[in-house]
Amino acid sequence: MKNEDRKFDDTAAEIRTEAQILDAVRDIELTVRQIQDNPNKLIAAKVSTLSSLCTSACFSSASTIATNIEDQGTDGDADARIHERALADG
């Protein structure tokens, strides 16, 4: 690769990085404004989103564990117990 090409690639990467930083700053500014306007509504929305993500992660993990155990040849009763335990754990 030519030196000029490297300089172009480096400049392009810097521009992308700067754009990402500016986007993040704008997002933070928007969030601050939203908090100032209606903090309870924003907090409730963030908690709801976090709750949904945690629930999805929990079921995904439980499913992965059950699949891994099935692949190891565990009997169906054990799989059911693991699934019930995962659901009980939240």
What pLDDT is attached to residue 70? Answer: 60
CB atoms under 10 Å from CB of 19, counted, come to 10
What pLDDT is attached to residue 89? Answer: 66
What pLDDT is attached to residue 28? Answer: 81
Of 89, 83, 88, 85, residue with least CA distance to 63? 83
pLDDT along the chain (90 residues), means of 10: 70 81 84 80 76 74 65 57 66
> For the chain, which residues make up each domain, given as ranges?
1-37, 39-90
What pLDDT is attached to residue 72? Answer: 60
What pLDDT is attached to residue 15? Answer: 82
Is the distance from CB of 18 to CB of 26 less than 8 angstroms? no
Of 88, 30, 22, 25, residue with least CA distance to 58? 88
pTM: 0.36
**3-class secondary structure, 74:** coil
What the block records as the tokens of 8 is 């172009």
